Amino acid sequence: MIASAHSADKKVFEISSLSNEVKELRSAFVDNRGKLMGLKKESYIETKMKEKGIGISLNPPIKIIVKSSNK
């Protein structure tokens, strides 16, 4: 009977510990996701590229069409 109670207490402590770990990991995930969203913003990317000497193109992209000659 006492062994069963100790086993149950051990499992309760383990569940509590794992629940806390899940909460911490979820919090870290949300924080990192927010940072990533900030890093993906066009304005942030534009400022970083300007630091490297790369600017936004003034000309729109051109579509290239390649015709195959397999007739």
Cα separation values, 6 from 3, 9, 17, Å: 5, 5, 16
**pTM across the whole model:** 0.60
pLDDT in tens, 18-60: 999 999 999 999 999 999 999 999 999 999 999 999 988 889 9
Q: Mean pLDDT across the stretch 5-27?
A: 94
Cα separation values, 68 from 21, 32, 61, 64, 65, Å: 58, 46, 22, 13, 10
